[in-house]
Amino acid sequence: MKITQLYTNCLAQGAYYISHKGEAAIIDPLRETGPYLDLLKENKDQLTHIFETHFHADFVSGHVDLAAATGAKIVFGPNAQTDYESYIAKDEEVFKIGGLSLTVLHTPGHTLESSCFLLKDEHQKALCLFSGDTLFIGDVGRPDLAIKSDLTQEDLAGMLYESLRNKIMPLPDDVIVYPAHGAGSACGKNMSKETSDTLGHQKEVNYALRNLSKEEFITELTTGILPAPQYFAKNAALNKKGYENYEKVLHKGSNALSVGDFVTMHKNEKALVLDVRRSGDFAEAHIPGAIFIGLDGQFAPWVGTLIKDLKTPILLVCPNGKEAETVMRLSRVGYDNSLGYLHGGMEAWIKAGKTAETVTSISAETFVPQYLNGVKTLDVRKPGEYESAHIKNADTKPLDFIYEWMEHLDKAQPYMVHCAGGYRSMIAVSVLKANGFEHLTDVQGGYAAISRVHNAETEIVTLACSKTV
């Protein structure tokens, strides 16, 4: 028996490979099929089933391409409807993987079709639960993502309460819980960094499994949820309807463009220039109007949050050798219209005599005197981070909602921008620059660096009560 968790940090997402006696199943695969096909070949397994816990909203799953490549059957739980060939299982239906069995547990609440899969060994001992977005480590799925549903989030939260208590909590305490996501995902609000745990321990520490009334559970679950990123509904629709073949997307996006062709395509296609290098490289030189979202951070979620149309034509500026990876990571969240990348990168751009712009980026030590002198400061962290600890008089301007709040800023006003560590602030600066703001300064190291420099100076740093959102 083999159970492999394939965890992708950028998306905080877990896919699973189960094999026994030459047969295999995959649960919640990512868009690219290569890693799964390699595992099948390495283990000499035949893929019989691809199980989906629900229509994922935060990434495009690889079920359609994987089924086409292997002939495996795509399986969803009750209430699912797809535009491609799939098998809709019944509640408590059992599937065989070699001598193992996988039982479908319909657990609506996160979405109406949400299901968990309970794996049992050859002797029918319950081993582990692949819990999707129904149960996380430390949390449960948000109840506001149902596609085209007339149900309220309170209705779905009530369903989730029943699912947890009737389907999951009665299972043995030694069952291992393998969720679809961990900390960093927007599918919950209090997820642990751990990617698995025993059900018994979760009953002790997970707030959602406490001895709550249904009304208390609904209130707890629906309080403090940030609005879902705009791409969530679009990704869920792709997972329901199907999508373009990944290899075709990769081929199109891996098109090396000369500086001249890059400029021509930018003009003719009205393409967005997306710079995925490190923030320091972007600050030193970038193409005018380019948006920065670095590969070294939570790249795909921020792309999905900030680029509003999945069909946006995109031209890439990448670190050397990272071009195919960039196209792949864009495709994971449904951005399949990459047109190519700048061959030779910014070095080629500058050698061709093209204009490059810079970002003023300063240390925390340099920042503080300017801050005390009254320069306006924007804190682009999430509301919960700001409420936990923030700089006195800094304006909370979460990056998630930059297109809403930028309309209320004065383009003639200088602004200093910081986040927690420097990644999100450079994204914010790039978006503001692309929208006509010129007097911007990025604070290197963000709040972490500022608090280290001036941790004891209460006129600079003020601490508020910690609040989870």
Domain 244-351 of CATH type 2.120.10.10? no
Q: What angle do CA 173, 177, 181 make, to 5 degrees?
A: 150
Q: Which of 50, 57, 5 is nearest to 28 (CA)?
A: 50
Residue 3 has pLDDT above 70, yes or no: yes
Domain ranges of the chain: 2-229, 244-351, 360-463
Q: Which CATH number fits domain 2-229: 3.90.1150.10, 3.40.1160.10, 3.60.15.10, 3.40.50.300?
A: 3.60.15.10
The mean pLDDT value for 99-122 works out to: 97
On whether the CB atoms of residues 144 and 111 are closer than 8 A, the answer is no
On whether the CB atoms of residues 134 and 114 are closer than 8 A, the answer is yes
On whether the CB atoms of residues 271 and 314 are closer than 8 A, the answer is yes
Q: Would you state the pLDDT for residue 57?
A: 94
Residue 266 has pLDDT above 50, yes or no: yes
CA 327 from centroid of its chain's CA atoms = 16
Q: Predicted confidence band at 190 (pLDDT cuts at 50, 70, 90)?
A: confident
Compute the distance between CA of residue 247 and CA of residue 343 in angstroms, rounded to an integer: 21
DSSP string, 389-431: EEETTPEE--GGGHHHHGGGS-TTS-EEEE-SSSHHHHHHHHH
pLDDT tens-digit map of 130-155: 999 999 999 999 998 876 668 899 99
Q: Predicted confidence band at 191 (pLDDT cuts at 50, 70, 90)?
A: confident
The CATH class for the domain spanning 360-463 reads alpha beta
CA 269 from centroid of its chain's CA atoms = 28
On whether the CB atoms of residues 55 and 69 are closer than 8 A, the answer is no
What strand order describes the sheet that includes 376-379? 360-362, 440-443, 415-418, 376-379, 395-396
pLDDT tens-digit map of 433-465: 999 999 999 999 999 999 888 654 435 555 443
Q: Would you state the pLDDT for residue 467?
A: 31
Q: Would you state the pLDDT for residue 372?
A: 87
Q: Would you state the pLDDT for residue 351?
A: 98
Q: Would you state the pLDDT for residue 354?
A: 98
pTM equals 0.92
Compute the distance between CA of residue 356 and CA of residue 349 in angstroms, rounded to an integer: 8
3 state DSSP class of 350: helix
Compute the distance between CA of residue 291 and CA of residue 314 in angstroms, rounded to an integer: 11
CA dihedral of 162, 167, 171, 177, whole degrees rounded to 10: -90
Enter the tokens of residue 371.
Answer: 């801050």
**Are domains 2-229 and 244-351 of this chain identical in fold?**
no
On average, the pLDDT of the chain sits at: 93
pLDDT tens-digit map of 156-167: 999 999 999 999
